[in-house]
Structure 1
Amino acid sequence: MSTPLGRTSLARNRIRDGLVATFHNDRAMATVADQVSVPDQISDWMGRLKLLYGVPINYLVPDEGMLPPESIRFFYVDMNWVDAMMDGAFSIGRNLTTDQAQPPVSVQLDRASAPRLTREANAKSASVRTNYLGVDGIDVSFQTVSGFILRSSLVPAYPGLGVNPWQEGHTPEDPEPKLLNILRMEQLGQQADTLVCLVEGDIFRVDIHEAPEALHFGIDTFDEKGATKKINQFTETDGQVTITQNLVTLDLTKEQCFRPDAPRTIKMQTLANLIAASQSPPIPSVDSAVMGFEMTEGVGMVSFNLKS
């Protein structure tokens, strides 16, 4: 049984009128758009873009003189600029017309889908680093994003540099230290001398240090005559160890403390005897715990305080 042509046209007109009414009603569009999920490929790409992935370095540092070798520059991210960049990236499917009386459907769709897209892009941005490190995710508001760009020969020479960003009132010297969340931290290329770091919140202090696994035995100075090492003096009474404030410098001469056939290798027994004899009073011998206490060197660290 065939349907009359006029009735079919009327049904199509009603559907068209309903779509037009929906697409030109912000509230109705928001309801519809909120029910449609953003494809993962789009939200992943937009999330990375929000962290400035894919943005050429000359957009971030327009002039090389602004970031000379062996320098660090701190900054705030202008989220209005980022939002404009995101809008520009999302505008590829926008169809504009010259009719100012009635906004184009694509513009209405953009406005309606923007809140959901922003939420999903924020979630993807927050998960980029946590997924890479295999740690729990974090909630990011993107109200304030600060960071720094470091240009130094240390970047390629010391892979795995660590960064501890602190907010004001929550530094290690305060009663309740609290680290800010790092959103992005990476070297811009395998052999590049530039590292970028983005942090959620307002950076007050930044500690940059060697990789934590760099703990090792170490000496203070070394030349053709030998080496020196400052050690702590301690006393032990009834199993209780007391560390004094006295530092003693051991003179590790090349002839006495280093192997003749390997002048950079210390004779560990000779070193242990010197450590034992330098205590006050001297002790008969040292064990591995004492050697670890006296000889372990922590990682090198430098701190930047941005406000006083």
Structure 2
Amino acid sequence: MMSEHTKIVQCFLPPMVAGKYTTEVNQRILKENRSIQDIKKTFDFGVDAARFTLNPNDIYSVYPPANKSGSYSESLPHLVFTRRTLPWERTIDGLPPVFQRSTTPEEKRNTLDSPPVPWMALLLFDEDEMSQLQIEKNTLAAVIQSDTADGIIRPEIFGTQSAIKEEVLQLMEWEKSTDGCFTIDLTKEQFETHVPYMESLSLLAHAKEVSIENKDKEGITDLNADGNGVFSVIVGNRLPASGKQNTAIVVSLEGHTRYLADASPKANIPTDIKIRLVVLASWNFMDSGNASFSQLVNSVDIKPISIQRENEAIELRPYFDSGYVPLEHLTRTGASTISWYHGPFVPKLFPSTSKTVSFSSSDAALRYDKTTGFFDISFAAAWQLGRILGLQNQEFAKALLNWRLAQTQFTAGKTKEALLNTILEDNSTLYLKDKVIHYLGAIDKVETELATEKRFDEIVDVPTEVKRFLNNLYSVNGIPFSYLLPHEFLLQKEHHIKEDTYSGTLSLFYVDPNWIEALLDGALSIGRVANHDPLLEMTISGQFIEGYNTGSVVIDKEGEIYGRRLNTTGFLFRSDLVSGWRGLEIMAFDAQNKALNALRFERIDSDIFLGIFNGNIARIIIKQPYEGLHFGLKIDKGGYKKNIKNEDGTNQVIVDGTADVNRELNNGLLKNRILDVAGLAAVMHKKLVEKDWMDTTEKSAGKYFTSAEFAFQMVDSPVKKEILIEV
């Protein structure tokens, strides 16, 4: 266990690895306790898994970030998969894992004694090396064993029509030799130098169980019983080249068993021969400058969501400071003009009206600004957008019309009941003619009373489809981005604050309740005949959103109530942190240090994150994603440094060499930036045992040093940034 956020696991194995299997079914028919017939059936079947290509959706994130520049030379590259079992879903030799090859059911199976080896590896080459290499598009025919000798060692995988039937690794029936894949051909020296052997490979893959409460949930598909995300991770064995472009390549090692058993058999590769590897994924990055997660998160620029234009149009500053932008406006008559517009995200608190306002059309929501002579089309645009979205969603529109019909019938019944009661309760001695006149006079009175009553328990149950749609609009889901951010100046791009350092922009906003109300009113205008709409009032009061606190009263300086507002704030975060570190963790707190519930919390573009919260944000915490913590070494004065940790994860400040592996790293474990992973793990394990930082008793797992223990020692502490907001 690493922390309350993350649990590191050696591996998650599938029930059956990929391959061909045979099952045998025996049936014995008995009569009077005597066997009269034995029936035996044999069935062949195959278990499939990723092999020559990977589904892009299986890749959750990569580090260093693809196509980014930054300071990465102190961290090994890694790739995070969305599926916990992917690195172990097949084996290099096509046989079940060693620990599963028991001959009797009683034979003990232990993944610690025989660590599973991933069938893939992550290699790293710099730009000079890649000038001699090429990732090529190929077919499976160029990968599987062939009769021609062309100076290339291929994986020992055979076609389905191979004459060597006893070979384990063959194409499955559904795999065709014409299927496409990508390959790379390494020289003997490159293969021997860059590709880790078995003992190291088993340490370069692990899994993590991570809390996803404060993450964007998109792309997270594998959850455990506690609702935490489960990821698998493949780590490289080489540090990036400083000041150069680097290429990370994930390759399949299936079929190359004879060259991976340990370090020495690699010498058996003939000279002037190339080894063909299937490429599963690749990405480029530039190690240049000082930008890192720490540098980026500590340079975030905080600002309100408004146009920041210094020394320009000073007379328009009050409008810009309120979140308005001037936009071209084409009127219904075809005239072209300029109008003011602001979206639902505004830099200042806009109190809502004390009474719900319903418009008959979008034109009724237009406002005219006498100072500039421009129309304010904000609420008109919101109203029209709500109506368009409502009509576009047929499920909502039909459910709403059916509800209105049911509500009309319900109201008519209540009206009839009230009118009949007027006659039945009339015990006066009036003549029948006078009673009828009294009855007719009561119609308008009763209908008026029913129309103005706001008794929500007197309406027909609202359909789930209507609640869901209104809830989505209320949370600003499904709103086109141009309505949210009508101008690029509202969300500035990252900019240089000094050489090689970048600053992201965290734009804070309030949610304008009047804009949201106009949006909802437009959606609810479908089939509406009366001015009063109980659904609008119920939505605004938050009755369709579980656990949402709305309708708080706003009091001015004189102590008088001047309106109510939706208690909703948020931020738009644009940064390389969002695009480069998928799974970024962000938490928001109010002034009482209470964690705020998110109404909407997601990455809406590659580098833009949107958070909308129930309450007023006073503090934001940004954390590095735990599933993607870096395998780090420190470079100091041309040498490498790495402390080891005790069980609670603290680095020991001891300078006698017993709590670090600095000497070993600089004396042979790291050559040409390539790490001897197995050698480093052995040194770490030995020192941990010597310092009594691991329980090595027979009943303890401490006598083993698996990929989980290695990952625990190698990962850097997660970076955390706290941002205080002036409320």
Length-normalised TM-score, structure 1: 0.63
Q: Identify the residue that residue 634 of structure 2 maps to in structure 1.
A: 221
Which of 602, 622, 636 is the aligned partner of 1:186? 602
Is 1:89 paired with 2:523? yes
**1:133-282 equivalences in 2 (<5 Å):** 138-141=547-550, 143-170=566-593, 178-189=594-605, 192-214=606-628, 218-221=631-634, 227-231=640-644, 246=653, 251=662, 253=665, 255-258=667-670, 263-266=674-677, 267-269=679-681, 271-272=683-684
Deviates more, 1:293-302 or 1:148-157: 293-302
- Counterparts of 1:139 and 1:205, CA distance in 2: 20
Are the counterparts in 1 of residues 548 and 614 from structure 2 also a CA contact under 8 Å? no
Are the counterparts in 2 of residues 214 and 298 from structure 1 also a CA contact under 8 Å? no
Q: Deviations over 1:97-134 (max 9, x none)?
A: xxxxxxxxx113x2x44333445xx35444xxxxxxxx
Is 1:77 paired with 2:490? no
Is 1:61 paired with 2:488? no
For 1:181, the aligned partner's letter is N
Q: SS of 1:297's equivalent? A: coil
Q: Deviations over 1:59-115 (max 9, x none)?
A: 3223212212232111111223222222232223344xxxxxxxxxx113x2x4433
Are the counterparts in 2 of residues 47 and 123 from structure 1 also a CA contact under 8 Å? no
- Counterparts of 2:464 and 2:471, CA distance in 1: 10
- Counterparts of 2:623 and 2:693, CA distance in 1: 34
Q: Which has the higher helix share?
A: 1
Pick closer, same or farther for the CA change 1:273–1:90 going to 2, 3 Å. Answer: closer
- Counterparts of 1:150 and 1:276, CA distance in 2: 42
Q: Identify the residue that residue 719 of structure 2 maps to in structure 1.
A: 300
Q: SS of 1:48's equivalent? A: helix
Are the counterparts in 1 of residues 585 and 625 from structure 2 also a CA contact under 8 Å? yes
Which of 71, 91, 116 is the aligned partner of 2:538? 116
- Counterparts of 2:669 and 2:688, CA distance in 1: 15
Q: CA deviation at 1:166?
A: 1.6
Would you say how many aligned residue pairs link Structure 1 and Structure 2? 249
Q: SS of 2:526's equivalent? A: helix
- Counterparts of 2:523 and 2:635, CA distance in 1: 56
Q: Deviations over 1:137-195 (max 9, x none)?
A: x343364211110112332332222221122242xxxxxxx312122101115xx3211
Length-normalised TM-score, structure 2: 0.30
Q: SS of 1:55's equivalent? A: coil
For 1:116, the aligned partner's letter is M
For 2:641, the aligned partner's letter is T
Are the counterparts in 2 of residues 185 and 197 from structure 1 also a CA contact under 8 Å? yes
- Counterparts of 2:438 and 2:466, CA distance in 1: 33
Q: Identify the residue that residue 9 of structure 1 maps to in structure 2.
A: none
Q: CA deviation at 1:299?
A: 2.8
Pick closer, same or farther for the CA change 1:194–1:22 going to 2, 3 Å. Answer: farther
- Counterparts of 1:255 and 1:19, CA distance in 2: 98
Q: CA deviation at 1:294?
A: 5.3
Q: SS of 1:107's equivalent? A: coil
- Counterparts of 1:32 and 1:17, CA distance in 2: 27
Q: CA deviation at 1:285?
A: 8.1
Are the counterparts in 1 of residues 524 and 536 from structure 2 also a CA contact under 8 Å? no
Give the greater-gyration-radius structure (CA): 2
Q: CA deviation at 1:271?
A: 3.9
- Counterparts of 1:16 and 1:50, CA distance in 2: 42
Are the counterparts in 2 of residues 162 and 209 from structure 1 also a CA contact under 8 Å? yes
Pairwise CA RMSD of aligned residues?
4.2
- Counterparts of 2:588 and 2:456, CA distance in 1: 41
Taking every aligned residue pair, what percent have the same amino acid on both sides? 23
Are the counterparts in 2 of residues 153 and 193 from structure 1 also a CA contact under 8 Å? yes
